[in-house]
Amino acid sequence: MSPVATPRQREALATYVATGGSISKTAAVLGISRSTAKRHLADLRARFGLSTEQLIYVGQAGGWLMVESLEDPPPEGR
């Protein structure tokens, strides 16, 4: 059976990517402590047996890692 990321783990990884790899910013965006953010990523790495960089690649290639920009979208018409 292939490993599966929990919704919260996927959210933590996506936020980590969207914040440029910042645990502090990931925790702030998700409203959790830094240690909890780190734990979500550590659990995900252990579950898949991959590094964070590998998880990002596998998640995007597999379609389960969707990263939304945390920036405001540009005004329409530009």
- Domain count of the fold of the chain: 1
pLDDT, greater one: 76 or 48 = 48
Mean pLDDT estimate for the chain: 89
- The verdict on residue 73 lying in a domain is no
- The verdict on residue 74 lying in a domain is no
Vertex 7 angle, CA 65 and 50, to 5°: 55
- The verdict on residue 78 lying in a domain is no
Q: How far apart are CA 44 and CA 6, in angstroms?
A: 8
Q: Which range (29-38, 51-60, 64-73) has the least confidence?
A: 64-73
Domain around 36: 7-62
Average pLDDT for 62-66: 88
- The verdict on residue 30 lying in a domain is yes
- The verdict on residue 21 lying in a domain is yes
Amino acid identity of residue 76, one-letter, is E
Q: What is the pLDDT of residues 12-36, one digit of tens each?
A: 999 999 999 999 999 999 999 999 9
